[in-house]
Each structure stands twice: as C-alpha cells, then as structure tokens.
Amino acid sequence: MTSHRVVVVPGLRRLGSLAINDWLAITIGGTIFTWRALTDAELEHELEHVRQWHRHGPLFPAVYLTESLRTRRAGKRWYHDNRFEHDARKAASRLERR
C-alpha cells in the first residue's frame, strides 16, 4: 500500500480552475489535495501519482512538465495525453473493472 494522506479543502476548486477547468485533485509527494471527497477510482488515480512521485523523487515536477511539453510538441493535449496522466487513468480503470 502506498503511504499517502488526503487533504480536502473546498476552496481549492476555484483556485485550481484557473489552470485546468475540470480539475479534482493535485498530488504533491504523498499528499493528495482535493476540493471534495474522492471516489475509490479517483483515489486510485491519485495514488498512481503518489507512486510516480516515489519513483522520480523531487524531480517529478520537472519530469512531468517535460512530458507535457513533449506531448504538446507532438500535437497532442498537454494534460490529457501526458503519459503520467494516462498511467493514472489506467490505474483507476483497473480498480473499476474489479
């Protein structure tokens, strides 16, 4: 099991929507910040980001940004087509299929 904590701050919804319209949470290290309670599948998505942080350490933000830029240069969507987001969606869908 991945060590994590979830922090729910309803006011984050408005702040985060300045960057991404339909955002739900952001994971920094082992902490998941969200503006509402998460479903099991949503939590699994964020837990994949916790695992990514553990794999890449403090360089993860730079690695994620680099992947977003690479994705954008390839003519794809910087967020949705980012491989880290793809892997997180895949983790969530595995949970939903159980």
Q: How far apart are CA 80 and CA 89, in angstroms?
A: 10
Comparing 39 with 21, which gets the higher pLDDT? 39
- pLDDT at 23 (0 to 100): 82
Number of domains, the chain: 1
Are the CB atoms for 11 and 29 separated by under 8 Å?
A: no
Which pLDDT score, from 0 to 100, does residue 70 have?
A: 97
Place of tokens 């994705």: 71
pLDDT digits (tens, 9 = 90+) for 39-62: 999 999 999 999 999 999 999 999
Q: 45 is in which domain, residue-wise? A: 5-97
Cα–Cα distances in angstroms (integers) from residue 69 to residues 51, 72, 86, in the given order: 22, 5, 15
What are the tens digits of pLDDT across the range 62-98? 999 999 999 999 999 998 999 999 999 999 998 777 6
d(CA 38, CA 60): 23
